[in-house]
Structure 1
Amino acid sequence: MFEEMPRLNLLSPAALSSTLRNCGSLESMISLWREALDIYNGFQKTGFRPDHYTIPCVLKACSGAMDLLMGRKLHGCVVVSGYQDNVIVCSGLVDMYVKCGRLCDARQAFDEMSQRDVVSWNVVISGLVRAGYGIEALRFFCEMHRGGVRVDRMTVPSVLTSCGQAGDLAVGKGVHGIALKLVLFSDIAVGNALIDMYAKSGCLHEAHQVFVEMPQRDVITWTSLIWCYGIHGRGKDALVLFDEMVACGVMPNSATFTAALTSCSHGGLLDEGRGIFSMMRQHYGLDPSVEHYACMVDLLGRHELLDEALAFIKGVPLAPTASIWGALLSSCRTYNNVEIGEIAAAALFELEASNSSNYIVLASIYEAVGQWECVSELRSRMRKLGIVKTPGCSWLTVKNRVYCFAQGKSSHPKAKVIHEVLDGLSQLMMMP
């Protein structure tokens, strides 16, 4: 229909671009986003100039196709055309820069907006959360709250996710209170985000309480709580929840089975895990994914069935990924199995040549069995490849403030006192 139109106007490409970016699977979406950009390029050659309807559509396509160059050209078009005061256009610019990984550019575009609405704030907060910058997302939320912008049902899930990433339980509880005050608790997405936040903050009771009080639940709700029980070592309770979910008529999906298998792994439920894995295909017609195979390898490895785990990997119909081999290597470290550990590590060295963790784990296996020459050779190999160990990092909340501690750094103003206390505690622990 588009090709047969005798006369094109400004809205024709905008409508087609909008259609292209809202249909199909992820792979087809990427292809359609690129096709939308091709249509836009052809549109420009006809002499038309994009308006405030077209630009947001094309910016969405840039975000999906990760086309930063086209996004920057559109940014220039926005400035030249005088659309800097259009909230929708500028919000699209911020979203494009965030999804393309240009956080500094996103912040600059956000700061340059003459006016902002709740959608503008939601775009930057959700974008930072998706990029894994939970602490930065929380800072934006606090700035938004201080500015008097009213939080809506789109803001709360993103902020709760950032609280889980940053380990900031205090802010998470505050957002929970805001959700109750604004009567957003009936929203399933808000409830699911609350369960996830409490689970990641180690608050099993609070997560379960949110679940009980939710007026409506979906498969994500059940999966989140199953996962919550699983990571807290309550594998049997997690499987009881799984059975309750099925009894309620909720169909488990791939993520649900991942949560159930993880619960079996953390709970030491070998036979139950095998049953869950078999159930996927036999009862629900779901083909196991890489995550499910990795969970099974971890489950077998935790029971010291390393030979069986290796045979299981060799029988995987998919190409074994780093997560599968990593689960096996981790179990080899637990039981100091050098032979199988070397097999797993060799596969990981090919898949993740620059990942220092794999070298560190294999070196620790060598150290445990006294093979110091192998340790020396491995460290020499790391130096030749320029691989450096990534320092560990922890977050701690004290009086509603989050502190970050990185291994080998002493930037905290009370670092000297902290280390003195730690040394004293270590000496007390070593006393008979």
Structure 2
Amino acid sequence: MSRILLSSLLRSCATHCAAAQCHAQSVLQALLPNVTLETDLLLAYSRLGLLGHARKLFDKMPERNMHSWNIMIASYAQSSMYSDALTVFRAFRRCGLRPDHYTLPPLFKASLGAGEDCVGTVCHCLVIKLGYERYVVVTNSVLEFYLKCGTMSQALCLFPKDNAERDSVTWNLMISGFGRAGLYADAVHCFREMLQHQNRMKVDYMTLPSILSACGREGDLLKVKEVHGFVVRSFGFDADAPTGNALIDSYGKCGCLNYVEKVFRTMGQVNLVTWTTMISCYGMHGKGDESVLLFEKMVDEGFRPNAVTITAILASCSHSGLIDQGKKIFSSMNSDYGFEPTAEHYACMVDLFGRCGCLEEALRLLERMKSSSVTGSMWGALLAGCVMHKNVEIGEVAARHLFQLEPNNPSNYVALCGIYQSRGMVDGFSSVRSKMRGLGLIKTPGCSWINIAGRAHKFYQGDLSHPLAHMIFKIIYEISNIQLMTNGLGLGNLLHDDDTMFVGL
């Protein structure tokens, strides 16, 4: 069998057995070493996910071409084996080789996954030095790197000024990047700009979940409806599952459970994410019984829940106080679904016990765990339950652990202060406040916002920067005073030194 025929067979291999047979034939017929044939073998093993076999072959190759290096780096990056991808790249550099425009894109992904941002910066320098900025796939990889690093200023500098240089991936990256950074208005503006150039670029299904997520997080129902209308006009009612899931999530975050149910009923195809999102939406709106029924229906229809689904149903039980259902699901995770509870599941159970007043049971659950496995979110859930039920003894235990795990988080100190204040324990309250001052911790002010005519108006506690702030607070003052006067109280009697909302009126 010739090398050409074996190479052709390797490029069409669909099974492990076929690749192994081709490898055996190449050895038996003494066709190795041959860099072309070995590279084809490397590619076949990598495509089949047999990276162990691929690495053994790669290490034994007496000669490697650029394609063989690129295969190993890209395969490790695609399989989330980021450290291995960077190790191969470092060996590549030690050989004095020059990367091409196929080498660099997977390295940006690997540097993010391995938490080695400096490698991504080095790769960006190589992109500039070697003149690869004209390759869209390379510039998109650099753009994605900075967006996921949270360096928006750098990402904006890299965003092509000429629309001809932007493809659908570029637009999708910017929209999702703005959303991830909390710049929801910028995400919407970017989407509208993309639509203006739709004659050269078709909006794809990848764009829609990103923009819907941004609108949903902002809580802007009008924008969610606008995007939903665009989906119907462009794709009809038979949108794909990711778009339908994003619509369910966005309407849920906007508080429109009736729209959530309508989208769910009209979806032509659903997946596990659909069920999980629906369960979460019901739980978010305090409809725990509906969440449990939906969870049972999902299992009956053959969908196997994953860790995220279990978190959603446990959180729903917690918000609705369904302690028996939550305990049943939690205790059956291993036997019914084959995986151990994670930190998020334990935190949900602690929150469930805490909301229902079973604080001792919540504490026993945490004490049964290894101390190294107990996270701040678990103790935080217990502390929140203690605030709700004014439990000083267990609240102090939870706070003590949180002060060690999160020494610079002011919320934990404020929560313990709230417990002391509710029980009239002045000494404890003063001691914690003094400790906060000593550490230089300041309570983060509360924030509320409302969307009027497409514009978000934000209000922070004690902040009078809004142009209509005095008029707004004066009306609130009058309404509140009328309500309190009805009960025989004046608002002035209830204000404390820390209440700065009405300063200046």
Counterpart of 1:145? 195
Counterpart of 1:229? 282
SS in 1 for 2:451: strand
The alpha-carbon distance between structure 1 residues 287 and 46, as it changes in their structure 2 partners (threshold 3 A), is closer
The alpha-carbon distance between structure 1 residues 48 and 363, as it changes in their structure 2 partners (threshold 3 A), is same
C-alpha contact (below 8 Å) 1:153/1:190 kept by paired residues? yes
| Residue 55 of structure 1, aligned match among 104, 125, 131 | 104
Aligned length: 425
Q: For 1:94-135, what per-residue CA distance to the aligned partner results, in whole angstroms no more than 9, with x for missing partners?
A: 111112222211111114677111111112222343455544
**Matches for 1:270-289 after TM superposition, within 5 Å:** 270-289=323-342
Shift of 1:427: 1.8
**Matches for 1:173-252 after TM superposition, within 5 Å:** 173-183=225-235, 185-252=238-305
Counterpart of 1:116? 166
| Residue 154 of structure 1, aligned match among 199, 206, 213 | 206
SS in 2 for 1:7: coil
Give, as a single letter, the amino acid of the residue that structure 2 aligns with 1:138.
V
Give, as a single letter, the amino acid of the residue that structure 2 aligns with 1:22.
Q
SS in 2 for 1:387: coil
Q: For 1:330-359, what per-residue CA distance to the aligned partner results, in whole angstroms no more than 9, with x for missing partners?
A: 111111111111011111111111111110
Counterpart of 1:332? 386
Mean Cα deviation higher: 247-256 or 348-357: 247-256
The alpha-carbon distance between structure 1 residues 312 and 76, as it changes in their structure 2 partners (threshold 3 A), is closer
| Residue 412 of structure 1, aligned match among 444, 466, 472 | 466
**Matches for 1:299-318 after TM superposition, within 5 Å:** 299-316=352-369
Q: Equivalents in 1 of 2:74, 2:444: separation in Å?
A: 42
**How high is the sequence identity, in percent, across the aligned residues?**
43
Mean Cα deviation higher: 376-385 or 2-11: 2-11
C-alpha contact (below 8 Å) 1:66/1:99 kept by paired residues? no
Establish whether residue 372 from structure 1 lines up as the match of residue 372 from structure 2.
no
Give, as a single letter, the amino acid of the residue that structure 2 aligns with 1:56.
P
Mean Cα deviation higher: 222-231 or 82-91: 82-91
Give, as a single letter, the amino acid of the residue that structure 2 aligns with 1:125.
I
Shift of 1:142: 3.4
C-alpha contact (below 8 Å) 1:63/1:95 kept by paired residues? no
Q: For 1:159-194, what per-residue CA distance to the aligned partner results, in whole angstroms no more than 9, with x for missing partners?
A: 111122222222111111122222174311111111
Q: Equivalents in 2 of 1:211, 1:74: separation in Å?
A: 44
| Residue 448 of structure 2, aligned match among 377, 394, 398 | 394
The alpha-carbon distance between structure 1 residues 276 and 200, as it changes in their structure 2 partners (threshold 3 A), is same
**Matches for 1:20-59 after TM superposition, within 5 Å:** 20-23=76-79, 29=80, 32-59=81-108
SS in 1 for 2:441: coil
Establish whether residue 76 from structure 1 lines up as the match of residue 125 from structure 2.
yes
Q: Equivalents in 1 of 2:160, 2:174: separation in Å?
A: 11
Q: Which runs of 5+ in 1 are unaligned?
A: 24-28
Q: For 1:406-425, what per-residue CA distance to the aligned partner results, in whole angstroms no more than 9, with x for missing partners?
A: 33333322222222222222
The alpha-carbon distance between structure 1 residues 301 and 57, as it changes in their structure 2 partners (threshold 3 A), is closer
Counterpart of 1:261? 314
Establish whether residue 430 from structure 1 lines up as the match of residue 484 from structure 2.
yes
SS in 2 for 1:153: coil
C-alpha contact (below 8 Å) 2:231/2:239 kept by paired residues? no
| Residue 101 of structure 1, aligned match among 126, 150, 156 | 150
Q: Equivalents in 2 of 1:315, 1:45: separation in Å?
A: 50
Q: Equivalents in 2 of 1:135, 1:16: separation in Å?
A: 41
Mean Cα deviation higher: 277-286 or 345-354: 277-286
Counterpart of 1:168? 220
Q: Equivalents in 2 of 1:45, 1:277: separation in Å?
A: 51
Shift of 1:362: 0.5
Give, as a single letter, the amino acid of the residue that structure 2 aligns with 1:163.
C
Counterpart of 2:68? 12
Mean Cα deviation higher: 94-103 or 203-212: 94-103
SS in 2 for 1:21: helix
Give, as a single letter, the amino acid of the residue that structure 1 aligns with 2:123.
L
The alpha-carbon distance between structure 1 residues 119 and 259, as it changes in their structure 2 partners (threshold 3 A), is same
Give, as a single letter, the amino acid of the residue that structure 2 aligns with 1:360.
V
Counterpart of 2:492? none
Q: Which runs of 5+ in 2 are unaligned?
A: 1-56, 487-505
Q: For 1:175-227, what per-residue CA distance to the aligned partner results, in whole angstroms no more than 9, with x for missing partners?
A: 11122222174311111111111111111111111111111111111111111
Q: Equivalents in 1 of 2:365, 2:96: separation in Å?
A: 61
Superposition RMSD in Å: 2.1
